[in-house]
Structure 1
Amino acid sequence: MPVNIQSHDQKILVSTPVYSWEWDAETDFFTLRDRENRPIGRGPHRPFICTRQTGWNSTASTVDFRIDRDRLSISYLLKDSGSRLTVSWSFHPDFISLEPFLYESSAEEDILQIVYFPEAHNDTYKPAFYSRYAVVPGLSMSTNISPVMDLHSRLSVTAVLGSGAMRGPGFTQQWGLPAHYFCTFNTSDRWNAIGAKRLQSSAACWGLAELPAGDFRLELREIGLSPVLNLRSDLWKQFKTPGTLQLGFSFLITFGANFHEAMRNYYKILLREKFIQPKTNSHKKAGIMLAPQYNTWGVESALALPPEELTESLVRDIFQKFQRSGMRAKTFVIDDKWEGRYGELKHDPARFPNFEALLADIRRQGYFIGLWVAFLRCQDPAALGLDESHLLQTSEEKPLWLSHQTSRYGIFDVTQPEVQEVLRARARQFIRAYRPDLIKLDFGYELPSLDVAAPADMTWAGERLLQKGLDVIVRAMKEENPDLVIMYYGLSPLLIEHYDLHSPDDLVYCGGDYDLETNRRIFFSSLCGELGMPTYGSSGYDWASALDIWFDSAPSGTLGSLHCFDGDENGDLPKDEWIAKYNGLSAILRKQTTFQIQPIDAHWQGGLRAAFSPSWERLEDDKTVLIALRTHRFDGKPASRAYKDILHTDVMLVAASMTDDDIAHAGRLGVVPFGEGRCTIRHSSTRQTAELIEHYLSGRQHATRLACQNQHIDLELRPSREDEILEWLEIIFKEDQPC
């Protein structure tokens, strides 16, 4: 696909079969269009730079522009400071690269912030890139604000797109971060005119190609948006002139028919252009990643435990109740509060006198072990041979202290060699002592912005600080155990080297909507499967939402539970029917860690409907290997009851191949129905009969013959037989059953 760049009458037009881009030198506005020439967005081109000495450099003149093959550079003279700014774009057939820009100044300046696509407003600016919709995964920790925002709602917020969200400038954020991308798409200027939906644009994904040494934010205000890089060189002195500086983001702009496809193409292009490497997992590691989990956090929350009250006897009690429930999880995760003091990665010997024996006992019974870790918290640096200077410091040269419940702690400065040496040694000792199979990493949201604190080595500031911490500690852990699984909630593909399993935790702010919010979070995280990172489904804090959460989790990875078997927040106890569904879905989970998920019957527009999918298709090597089909959308309207002529059903169900073949050719199928009814599955078998095995919660199995007619099998679905609760159906096509 060629890139065509034309220059005429002070205008630049770039066109490819996927997009077009236009810049007007007279107005200094640029417009981004899709393959059908529909505008995706439009805004002022020149970034604003805020310095301590001159404030916002809001007036400038275009000096010149230069085209070099598929690269365009536009230079400005900033009148307030006499500085020169050069912005460069590289145009590729299916994506655009917006490069970090050059800033040349002979004056003494400290760079505070950089704002993209702004408009001057009094003595400051306002965000001015216009596109009707912005898509920001992780915008809100709760369900109160949709990640798909109509900018005409005039929502005013500065959203964090990187780490540190819980202590950032806007809403309470956590899940999905760091994401390191956002999306835009547009509607016709005549919103509700006849046929206006046909004029709605495709979507663009604006994602980082590399991590900046600053805080990545997105400001939304007055129907405009602007990416912002927060540097605060007035406090830290790391970006100063006179001289020439390289500033800003390295953006990739990718395109898709909708924002889900635009995000998918962002991931694909990062892989194709070798910004990131595909994940490869051993057979053992894949088994740990996809093992269904049970986590103690739900009980800890149900009992409102302070840290000093989680004990070895309580963990044993939780484990025993989990076993008695009949839930067939394969990984048992001990969550927060097992440590004595944060930072030491050691258990509390008073509360857990036989911790290694406890872990060995659980492992001996056939379970993988998971441990919660907040690896950069430090309560007592002296216990590790360090001091307060080895923690992140404020601009007053004092350590930053944070608190959670009864704990007070600082944050390790992982850019210091002394700290790195201590943490690597502690990480290796931790793995050797406890032999965890999985680490539930819980931390990034606590990293402070550069408004608050910074590391000693500023080359690792901003978005790079979490990367450095992961590189020091996680790398040391994996050197000790290459099959160790790291679970985290960040969506960023730029950290895929360190993460293995995505978690949509925590749903604590989503009471009443646990199931809906999980569906929406999986809508985004399912794309990580194409990078080799499945999603762990977790759960909410009530039992009633569990079935829908597990249904949505099964296509994209594995199941989880952090429920309390003594009662949930509503006082409800688990039902055997619910445990049976967990077990049934666990039995038919796919074994591959790289796959593609296609939403079925998804909506792309509307704060209450967008970014939900009632049903899912999973593909491996372009083969349909799993279909999870609901008969109704979340608003109660009917959904598709048939898909690709593979599956027809009048009941909600999950059907999966249990071999490497697609559903229509697999010699073994698994089905988990969520009600009573019938379904028909197309199968290419030339055999007249198959074996149908009903698996029950009691462990009993019931086998019958199943007729195959015209390459279809017809199933009568029922949740129980003679008071036995069904877990799942197994269908086996045997070689000794010819027509």
Structure 2
Amino acid sequence: MRHAMIIDHHGYRFQLDEGSGAARLSPLADDAPVWQGTLYPALHVQDAAGARRTLHASGTPDGAAVRLDFGGEATGSLTLRETDFGLELADLELDLRGLALVDILLGASSLTDEQRTRVSDPDFPEWPDFRSGAVCVPSARPAPPASILRRWDLGQATVPLGLFGPALGSPYGAAFPRPVYAAAFGDDRGWLLAGAGEVPDAALTLEMRGTSGALRWRYREDLWAPPAGPRRWPSFARVSWGRTAVAAFDSYFRSFERGRPDASSAAAASAWNSWGDFRRGDFDVPAAVAAAVGLEAEGYVLDDGWESSESSGLPRTDRFPDLVATAESVRAAGLEVGFWQSVGWIVDLEEAGLGPDDLIPGVDGTPRTANWGMDPRDAAHWALDPSSPRTRAFLEQRMRRIIREYRPAVIKLDFGYGLPGPDTGAPRDPAYRGDRLGDSLYRILADAARDEDPGVMIQLYGIHPLHAQIADLVALDDMGDHGDHAEAEGHRHWSVWAALLGAHGVVVNGSSGYFWDQDGEVVLDTAVLGSPGAVLPLFDERQRPTARQLARRRAINRWHRTTSRWDPLWLDSELGRIDVQPRVVSWGRVERGGVLAALCLRAESAGRLDDPAVASLAHSGDWALVSLDGAGVFDGPTAVIPITSGVLELPRGVEAVERWADGAATPVEPDFVEGRLVLRATEADLDAGLEGWVLK
């Protein structure tokens, strides 16, 4: 490469030709690239006559910057900044000279005339050029869960990386783990990730065409008026790399600062969510609260179904004739109360005091509607436009009223992602366009809630640090996305991606599925993730929970970590290969000072854990261990939760052991064999309601 930028980092060599933007990543020990492509932005534009074309950049180094020339039709500049995580494409400036910006592409280079005749998509005139053996987008496919796909598995596909989801082509996957704002490319020798450096002012997607990919910032300024003034992006994109796709995402995520104080321990309170019963039409809150108290939950969240109409912020009086009294009764029972809110939808405009000018318009000015699946034949909601001062005032006032009247401890914000994409509608103010639409809606409501009550906690879904910085608590969504048969497996898959939030000062909530018989896997992983949350039905006659199932939920509600900063110890977990999806197996939670504060042991790991942190223990069956004071599971007070029958041998001493069952503790004599503490859980013990032991 002529005028090459070379970065040797984490066992890999990254090279970029400053003239063409062509780049490659290869292991230091192997010159064959794991990824190659173009990292200068290509501009898909439309001229005043309506003709479209793609402009490719050539670069000329100019001090710390690179001057970009797009064939004389547009110019710009870009700073290539080497960082601890890899490379930042900073201070991108463009002079479009009156051209309408349809897309910016990262990963596109020009084709020859002969190659262009073979392009199968005339609306996408230049073929992507990110080349690798596989591509990784967290939970690109929800059922069965898949994050790593071979380069030919997606075909001609658009995969949303932000909040738009089905509006731009992905299968419905609810919220988690979007937004990710990035995709990784590589093979079993290493991975390169390319992602946004700021919340995109466009809809960010991965475009797979054949066996090649590109990142696409979708502006559609051929439809929508561009912003006034010069075009500048302080941190347009970031590039990181690592041995695995998970490591590349972790490095990328760590390049973002928290931006607000770390979540307090109160955000880690164990919570029961009403959705498991509300979704079946059961609104008996007093009975549910009594059951949640019996399971030692610390909070109860009223989910979708409490409002007169979705997003009104007013109670449905036939279900809750006195919602203030209902909230008081939850608190009187010893639980904090929470409320669900949709951020981007409205049903009853008159009730909200809104009109057409407060909604997302189409090109013809007519307001657009949306639903979670973006199916035009399904019932839909009006989509709120934060460009409107009345919309912003409505959102703020609605939230302030909820905080004042019901005094919730938690606000769960949802559905900032079921909104029209830029091909069909866009906010009138360009500052709210693209993935900034959902981001702005979340921030308006979170800011209003905290202004009214600085102690209220905000819960979101999604794993990108720029999104998580809005929240105190990030939850895995319910496991229904994975299908009734695969909730447990889906939770093991999602736990890998959720664990990357541990370094970002936000509490991670393990959530649950809808089926009690798969909940053991969820409890195991929640012990490491930290905060227990459940949407399990309490009164479904088809699946009454057993004593064993209730015991393990009671145990994790009582014993869980309340800290907000930690790192995963993966042990024998699978972090993804081209032919194997990421999933946790046995793994742990490492907190400040290298303390192993929680541990998940699965039966399939017995005899094969060789990490020094756990090599001296032995086990059969499934077990969760949670430090009760932060000294570590082998040193200080520790809770041990058996999930299945088996034997656990721990290299530690104890002064006392308590055996817990049915919410009560009984002192028992410790059993030592060859200097190791031995705990045994039988099928009969578990069926009788054994919750676990506390080691002191």
Answer yes or no: same fold by TM over 0.5. yes
Identify the residue that residue 42 of structure 2 maps to in structure 1: 48
Length, aligned pairs only = 673
1:388 to 1:664, Cα distance in 2 relative to 1, 3 A = same
Give me the whole-angstrom Cα distance separating, in 2, the residues matched to 1:386 and 1:729.
56
1:468 to 1:154, Cα distance in 2 relative to 1, 3 A = closer
Identify the residue that residue 208 of structure 1 maps to in structure 2: 196
Query: How far apart are residue 607 of structure 1 and its match?
Result: 6.1
Cα deviation per residue 1:216-240 (whole Å; 9 max; x = unaligned)? 1111122211000000111112158
Identify the residue that residue 280 of structure 1 maps to in structure 2: 262
Query: How far apart are residue 624 of structure 1 and its match?
Result: 0.8
Give me the whole-angstrom Cα distance separating, in 1, the residues matched to 2:169 and 2:152.
22
Query: How far apart are residue 147 of structure 1 and its match?
Result: 0.9
Identify the residue that residue 103 of structure 1 maps to in structure 2: 94
Query: Which amino acid counterpart does residue 725 of structure 1 have in structure 2?
Result: G
5+ long unaligned stretches in structure 1: 1-8, 188-199, 733-739
Give me the whole-angstrom Cα distance separating, in 1, the residues matched to 2:23 and 2:648.
53
Give me the whole-angstrom Cα distance separating, in 2, the residues matched to 1:414 and 1:563.
35
**Which deviates further from its counterpart, 425-434 or 402-411?**
402-411
Give me the whole-angstrom Cα distance separating, in 2, the residues matched to 1:221 and 1:682.
54
**Which deviates further from its counterpart, 167-176 or 553-562?**
167-176
Query: How far apart are residue 709 of structure 1 and its match?
Result: 7.4
- After superposition, where does 1:286-301 map in structure 2 within 5 Å? 286-287=265-266, 289-301=267-279
Identify the residue that residue 429 of structure 2 maps to in structure 1: 457
1:625 is the counterpart of 2:597? yes
Query: Which amino acid counterpart does residue 38 of structure 2 have in structure 1?
Result: P
For the residue of structure 1 that corresponds to 2:588, the secondary structure is: strand
1:117 pairs with one of 82, 107, 131: 107
- After superposition, where does 1:8-157 map in structure 2 within 5 Å? 10-18=2-10, 19-24=12-17, 29-36=22-29, 39-53=33-47, 55=51, 57-58=53-54, 62=58, 64-66=59-61, 68=63, 71=64, 73=66, 75-78=68-71, 82-99=73-90, 101-106=92-97, 108-119=98-109, 120=111, 121-122=116-117, 124-140=125-141, 142-144=142-144, 146-153=146-153, 155-157=155-157
Identify the residue that residue 661 of structure 1 maps to in structure 2: 631
Superposition TM-score, scaled by structure 1 size:
0.84
Identify the residue that residue 640 of structure 2 maps to in structure 1: 671
- Asked whether the equivalents of residues 431 and 477 of structure 1 are also in contact (C-alpha less than 8 Å), the reply is yes
1:364 to 1:90, Cα distance in 2 relative to 1, 3 A = same
- Asked whether the equivalents of residues 92 and 236 of structure 2 are also in contact (C-alpha less than 8 Å), the reply is no
User: RMSD of the alignment, in Å?
Assistant: 2.9
1:384 to 1:499, Cα distance in 2 relative to 1, 3 A = same
Identify the residue that residue 694 of structure 2 maps to in structure 1: 730
5+ long unaligned stretches in structure 2: none
Cα deviation per residue 1:172-203 (whole Å; 9 max; x = unaligned)? 3432111212222235xxxxxxxxxxxx12x3
- Asked whether the equivalents of residues 111 and 239 of structure 1 are also in contact (C-alpha less than 8 Å), the reply is no
Identify the residue that residue 167 of structure 2 maps to in structure 1: 167
Query: Which amino acid counterpart does residue 22 of structure 2 have in structure 1?
Result: F
1:350 to 1:599, Cα distance in 2 relative to 1, 3 A = same
1:231 to 1:476, Cα distance in 2 relative to 1, 3 A = same
**Which deviates further from its counterpart, 339-348 or 224-233?**
339-348
Give me the whole-angstrom Cα distance separating, in 2, the residues matched to 1:722 and 1:186.
43
1:564 is the counterpart of 2:537? yes
- Asked whether the equivalents of residues 522 and 535 of structure 1 are also in contact (C-alpha less than 8 Å), the reply is no
Query: How far apart are residue 11 of structure 1 and its match?
Result: 4.0
Query: Which amino acid counterpart does residue 290 of structure 1 have in structure 2?
Result: A
- After superposition, where does 1:180-579 map in structure 2 within 5 Å? 180-187=181-188, 200-201=189-190, 203-238=191-226, 245-246=231-232, 250-271=236-257, 276-277=258-259, 279-282=261-264, 286-287=265-266, 289-301=267-279, 303=280, 305=281, 314-320=284-290, 326-402=294-370, 408-511=380-483, 512-567=485-540, 571-579=542-550
- Asked whether the equivalents of residues 647 and 679 of structure 2 are also in contact (C-alpha less than 8 Å), the reply is yes
For the residue of structure 2 that corresponds to 1:632, the secondary structure is: helix
Query: Which amino acid counterpart does residue 147 of structure 1 have in structure 2?
Result: S
1:661 to 1:711, Cα distance in 2 relative to 1, 3 A = farther
Cα deviation per residue 1:411-454 (whole Å; 9 max; x = unaligned)? 22223223323322221111010111112211122122111211
Superposition TM-score, scaled by structure 2 size:
0.89
Give me the whole-angstrom Cα distance separating, in 2, the residues matched to 1:721 and 1:401.
54
1:35 to 1:428, Cα distance in 2 relative to 1, 3 A = farther
Query: How far apart are residue 556 of structure 1 and its match?
Result: 0.5
Query: Which amino acid counterpart does residue 105 of structure 2 have in structure 1?
Result: V
Cα deviation per residue 1:569-604 (whole Å; 9 max; x = unaligned)? xx3321111111111222321121222122221224
Query: Which amino acid counterpart does residue 437 of structure 1 have in structure 2?
Result: A
Identify the residue that residue 658 of structure 2 maps to in structure 1: 693
Identify the residue that residue 196 of structure 1 maps to in structure 2: none
Query: Which amino acid counterpart does residue 627 of structure 1 have in structure 2?
Result: L
For the residue of structure 2 that corresponds to 1:567, the secondary structure is: coil
Query: Which amino acid counterpart does residue 440 of structure 1 have in structure 2?
Result: K
For the residue of structure 2 that corresponds to 1:127, the secondary structure is: coil
**Which deviates further from its counterpart, 610-619 or 121-130?**
121-130
1:25 to 1:493, Cα distance in 2 relative to 1, 3 A = closer
- Asked whether the equivalents of residues 96 and 254 of structure 1 are also in contact (C-alpha less than 8 Å), the reply is yes
- Asked whether the equivalents of residues 301 and 338 of structure 2 are also in contact (C-alpha less than 8 Å), the reply is yes
1:23 to 1:723, Cα distance in 2 relative to 1, 3 A = closer
1:365 to 1:466, Cα distance in 2 relative to 1, 3 A = same
